[in-house]
Amino acid sequence: MSPARMERSLLLSAVFGMAALGAPAQAQVAGPGARLVGFTIEPQEPEFAQVIDLGLTIRLDPQIMVFVPDTLVPGEASVSAGSGTWTVAEGLADSVDVRARYPIMGFLNGRVELPEVELWIRPAMAGEEGGARPVSELAEASAVETSSVRRLQIPLGAIQIAPLREMAEAGNVLNPRPPADVLGGEWSSWLIAAIVLSLATGVAVMWLVWARWREISATRGLGFERLSPRLRALRELDEIFSLRLPEEGRFPEFYNRTTGALRRYSEEYESDWGIALTSTELLGRLRDRWGPPSVESLDGAVPIAEWVKFGTYEPGIDVAEGHWRSIRDWIERVPES
């Protein structure tokens, strides 16, 4: 495919990916106060497993504060290849432009969805100018600062990833030879090299896919055993407890991991009970499914988790471990049907 045709294909893929959400690719509205006004990729014809430089421009209203992540939310076949960088510049009509660059990588050929941009935004507080901060600052923000924070996800669409050039070249070289040549010992060195290269490339592709599957499995606590959702969640919680995070003062991480195990367990029953819900909203869904009496033991742990993760509240070691125990006991006894 020529560069011009590939460029048109990339543009159409991005437009169609954004059109599904009802907005054009270069003017995607993320929500009141913040929107994606453009993005670029380099190279424009990326290959399998090649690191791609993704550039984004997010425009903010002058009274909006955005918290920018270090990496993007991984897709089905694309991941961040390292931490990104961002700067702030003046935009049009007193707006603020956040210009970010992220290294990403796709590990399948053909049409691959780009990772999503996950932002946290809030109105600027009294005496504060709108702009951008690293998302890590949310862990140390006060309850007043986090009370108006909301989460935005911006899909970026898809790109076309070409197979490795070595694979394409090997395919061009692999021409059938007459039986007499093969049986007569007249083997072509080009044919042998192409076969070896194809086998090596195939092994490399299988290894990358297998490694990615292991990474996803590890992050979700699945491992290689066929365990029930309950046993997977209990095993994950026991591993969290063994890290002794509260004893090191790492309360936000402890609560984030613990409620994350509860969230993943609930997704086994309702797939949309994922990261799009706050913990408080998730608790409401659990009440609707299993009834308020069966969820009463979570009423203390889940709201406190919100305060700890996004505020400055530290409940103490015994209280934190008690909340962990409440969540584990609930998963252990709740009916799985």
Helices (H), 116-247: 143-146, 165-173, 179-183, 189-219, 229-242
The DSSP letter of residue 243 is T
pTM, two decimals, is 0.43
pLDDT of residue 222: 45
The reply to whether 249 and 189 lie within a common domain is: no
The reply to whether 7 and 155 lie within a common domain is: yes
Tell me, yes or no, whether 213 lies in a domain. no
pLDDT of residue 238: 94
Amino acid identity, position 267: E
The per-type count for the chain, helices as H runs and strands as E runs, is: 11, 12
Tell me, yes or no, whether 281 lies in a domain. yes
Rounded distance between C-alpha atoms, residue 110 and residue 117, angstroms? 22
The reply to whether 186 and 261 lie within a common domain is: no
pLDDT of residue 25: 38
Tell me, yes or no, whether 133 lies in a domain. yes
Question: Is residue 96 within 8 Å of 90, Cβ to Cβ?
Answer: yes
The reply to whether 152 and 9 lie within a common domain is: yes
Tell me, yes or no, whether 211 lies in a domain. no
pLDDT of residue 337: 58
What's the total number of domains in the chain? 3
Low-confidence ranges of the chain (pLDDT < 50): 1-30, 174, 180-184, 221-225
Q: What are phi and psi of 121, to 5 degrees?
A: -130, 160
pLDDT of residue 146: 79
The reply to whether 241 and 179 lie within a common domain is: no
pLDDT of residue 27: 39
> Does residue 43 have a cis peptide bond before it, meaning omega lies within 30 degrees of 0?
yes
**251 half-sphere exposure, CB direction, 13 A CA radius:** 24
Pairing state between β 85-90 and 78-80 = unpaired
pLDDT of residue 240: 93
pLDDT of residue 274: 58
The reply to whether 13 and 140 lie within a common domain is: yes
Which string of DSSP letters, residue by residue, matches 10-46?
A: HHHHHHHHHHTTTS-GGGEEEETTEEEEEEEEESSS-
Domain housing 261: 229-333
The reply to whether 233 and 191 lie within a common domain is: no
The reply to whether 198 and 263 lie within a common domain is: no
Identify the bridge partners of residue 60 per DSSP, sorted by sequence position: 34, 96
Tell me, yes or no, whether 210 lies in a domain. no
Tell me, yes or no, whether 147 lies in a domain. yes
Q: How far from the centroid of its chain's Cα atoms is residue 221's Cα?
A: 16
